[in-house]
Amino acid sequence: MASELLRHRFTLEEYEKMVEAGILTPDDRAELLDGEIVEKMAVGSPHAACVRKLQRMFFELLGKGAATLSSQNPIGLPPNSEPEPDFAILKYRSDDYATLHPRPKDVLLVIEVSDSSLRRDRTKLRIYARSSIQEVWIVDVNRKLVEVYTEPAEERYRELRVLKPGESIAPRAFPDLALAVGDLLP
């Protein structure tokens, strides 16, 4: 008789306590997704270049005080997820979220950059939708396009737009900020 593996799912609170206690460190390269501690994927050069480009572009376009820019840092999504999106635009806070990781109400835009991580990035969509993250972009560096997800409903997004170089995009939180899709790609 084969026995089934038992898994323990962690809450966001338990996960954050493990980090505080030093059980998990930044060297562990892990994130909490739907209660499971998952190893983060290695970052390739095109992926890293794209994240750096996003940082520079949004810093230059938004300026100081319009928002808090976050790169590969945790976002707490109760009850049991703490993903580390490649890039996020958060509501501005002068303390840079020093006392608590941003929560769903703080998130204006999440951007996942995908070269080898497309499947995982799409899996995260249901977590983001469940948490009512209003807008998620997946920048697909291999196919040279941007998937824009909006209108979260339960565990999915009702609206998907796929944009290619030559088209433009503006985050919903900053509708006057028109960006060329080609400029987002490495």
- 21: in domain: no
pLDDT at 186: 84
Peptide bond into 104 cis (omega under 30): no
- Beta bridge partner(s), residue 154: none
- 113: in domain: yes
Q: What is the DSSP letter of 97?
A: T
Return the SS3 of 18. helix
CATH code: domain of residue 158 = 3.90.1570.10
24-79 pLDDT per residue, tens: 887 888 899 999 998 887 788 888 999 999 999 999 998 777 899 999 999 999 99
- pTM equals 0.90
Q: CA-to-CA distance for 153 and 151, rounded, in angstroms? A: 6
39, burial (CB in 10 Å: exposed 0-12, middle 13-18, buried 19+): exposed
Return the SS3 of 107. strand
Give the amino acid at 155: E
- 144: in domain: yes
pLDDT at 8: 83
Q: What is the torsional sign of CA 73, 77, 83, 89? A: negative
Please report, rounded to a whole number, the percentage of residues in the chain having pLDDT higher than 90.
Answer: 72
- 20: in domain: no
- 1: in domain: no
Q: CA-to-CA distance for 76 and 10, rounded, in angstroms? A: 13
Structural domains in the chain (count): 1
Using an 8 Å Cβ cutoff, are 121 and 157 in contact? no
Average pLDDT, the chain: 92
- 89: in domain: yes
115-170 pLDDT per residue, tens: 888 888 999 999 999 999 999 999 999 999 999 999 999 899 999 999 999 999 99
Q: CA-to-CA distance for 103 and 94, rounded, in angstroms? A: 16
Using an 8 Å Cβ cutoff, are 141 and 186 in contact? yes
Residue 54 belongs to what domain range? 42-184
pLDDT at 67: 94
Residue 1, pLDDT above cutoff 80: no
- 9: in domain: no
- 37: in domain: no
Q: Which residue has the tokens 């810093």?
A: 59
Please compute the mean of the pLDDT values over residues 97-102 and round it to a whole number. Answer: 93
* Residue spans of beta strands (DSSP E) within 86-155: 87-90, 107-114, 135-140, 145-153
146-161 pLDDT per residue, tens: 999 999 998 999 999 9
